[in-house]
Amino acid sequence: MVGSSMAQVKVLLCKIGFLSALIILTCFIIIVVAGSQKNHYLASVIDKHKLLKVTQSPRVILVGGSNVAFGLDSAIIQHELRLPVVNMAIKATIGLHYMLEEVKPFIGHGDLVMVMPEYEQFYGDLPNGNDDVWLLLWYSPDGYRNLRSPSQYLALLKSFHVFMFTRSRVAWDKLTTVLRMKPESKPDLYSRSSFNEHGDFVAHLSLSPSWDGCFPTQKDETLNEETFSSLQNLSKYAARKKAKMVFFWPSIPESFYVAQKAWIQRIVSKMNQYPDIRVHGTPFDSVLPVNNFFDSPYHLNATARLKRTLAISRFLLHMDK
């Protein structure tokens, strides 16, 4: 009787093992097929890392979400400051903690690290990243080193099912394209090839604005304490490396600022408790007219991008004079 029960248990375990292996193999195949998008927007991390590694200090390193990718002209900053500029910004959903850890090992003597995160990085779980981090790690496997907190790993685990769902859809689209002998679609605006040699996103500069005027409403009212600590830690680390870190508020439209003023002010009040973080100006200083935005309340159009870049360049040029 006992022998029969043990045999049944062994059979059950073998079935569970086989099913688990099948699931893992299926996930791997889906990720490989879907992950071969060489021109994917997040694949730009490959080029940005190459640029960061070959550009010698002293230099300017731009850090933030897509507001920085879309909103600054690195060539102008480079011309004004007479320093090479590397724009490492890609997307807010990578999480601010990842972004800061990503550049930290590369900070050298004389570097100027400019950090400009979206306001959502100060609330809830966004600073820990979402399912986009999984795909980023596919393109940049050594990015696991940028996962330093339990909160980041928890966010990864919580978002794995979303990642697999989106990758499954991409894999299915690829498969149906091959089976139907259809030509692949033209590159999306949001693609790797849309970045220039400095890491700036430039594909939108000649296009007409498409933003519908909507902006995010903050649901989570809990300030993320780790965001402030991460910024302070990078500032102190930069100082030890004889470099500087400067924090800038992102540009947003007037309507966004008015609607979320109290929410933004809480961030300002908390930031004032961290004197080691050098903050430039106030959020209101970065507010721009609604018609200055391209397709979101964080993406500047060509005219506003130039205006914003010149203002920041002038500040950086005379920062310590």
Domain locations in the chain? 35-317
Q: Residue 254 in contact with residue 290, Cβ under 8 Å?
A: yes
Tell me what pLDDT residue 78 has.
97
Q: How far is CA 168 from CA 18, 161, 175, 241, in A?
A: 21, 10, 10, 44
Better-scored residue on pLDDT, 32 or 177:
177
Rounded mean pLDDT, 78-106: 97
Rounded mean pLDDT, 291-297: 95
Tell me what pLDDT residue 10 has.
58
Closest by CA to 211, choosing from 287, 119, 292, is 292
Looking at CATH, the fold of the domain delimited by 35-317 is given as Rossmann fold (3.40.50)
Rounded mean pLDDT, 245-270: 96
Rounded mean pLDDT, 182-188: 60
294 pLDDT band, cuts 50/70/90, is: very high
Tell me what pLDDT residue 16 has.
59
Note the Cα 188 to chain centre separation in Å.
Answer: 18
Q: Residue 257 in contact with residue 284, Cβ under 8 Å?
A: yes
Note the Cα 88 to chain centre separation in Å.
Answer: 9
Q: What angle do CA 62, 308, 110 make, to 5 degrees?
A: 35
Mean pLDDT, the chain, integer: 87
Rounded mean pLDDT, 74-81: 97
Better-scored residue on pLDDT, 171 or 234:
234
Q: How far is CA 48 from CA 136, 193, 240, 263, in A?
A: 12, 12, 24, 33
Tell me what pLDDT residue 54 has.
97
Q: How far is it, in rounded angstroms, from Cα 116 to Cα 283?
A: 11
Better-scored residue on pLDDT, 272 or 215:
272
Rounded mean pLDDT, 243-266: 96
Is the pLDDT confidence value at 24 over 70? no
Q: What share of the chain is helix, strand, coil (3-state, %, to 5)?
A: 60, 10, 30
Weakest mean pLDDT among 70-84, 147-161, 230-244? 147-161
Is the pLDDT confidence value at 217 over 60? yes
3-state DSSP assignment of residue 125? coil
Q: How far is it, in rounded angstroms, from Cα 95 to Cα 143?
A: 13
> How does DSSP assign 102-140, residue by residue?
HHGGG--TT-EEEEE--GGGGBTTGGG--THHHHHHHH-
Q: How far is it, in rounded angstroms, from Cα 244 to Cα 236?
A: 9
End-to-end CA distance of the chain: 88
Is the pLDDT confidence value at 274 over 60? yes
34 pLDDT band, cuts 50/70/90, is: very low
Is the pLDDT confidence value at 175 over 50? yes
> pLDDT > 90: what percent of the chain?
72
Better-scored residue on pLDDT, 262 or 37:
262
Q: How far is it, in rounded angstroms, from Cα 256 to Cα 120?
A: 12
pTM of the model as a whole: 0.86
Better-scored residue on pLDDT, 245 or 31:
245
Tell me what pLDDT residue 203 has.
96
Better-scored residue on pLDDT, 150 or 9:
150
Note the Cα 23 to chain centre separation in Å.
Answer: 30
Closest by CA to 270, choosing from 320, 213, 229, 210, is 229
| Torsions phi, psi for 85 (to 5 deg) | -120, 135
Is the pLDDT confidence value at 157 over 70? yes
26-35, 105-114, 152-161, 166-175 — which one is most confidently predicted on average?
105-114
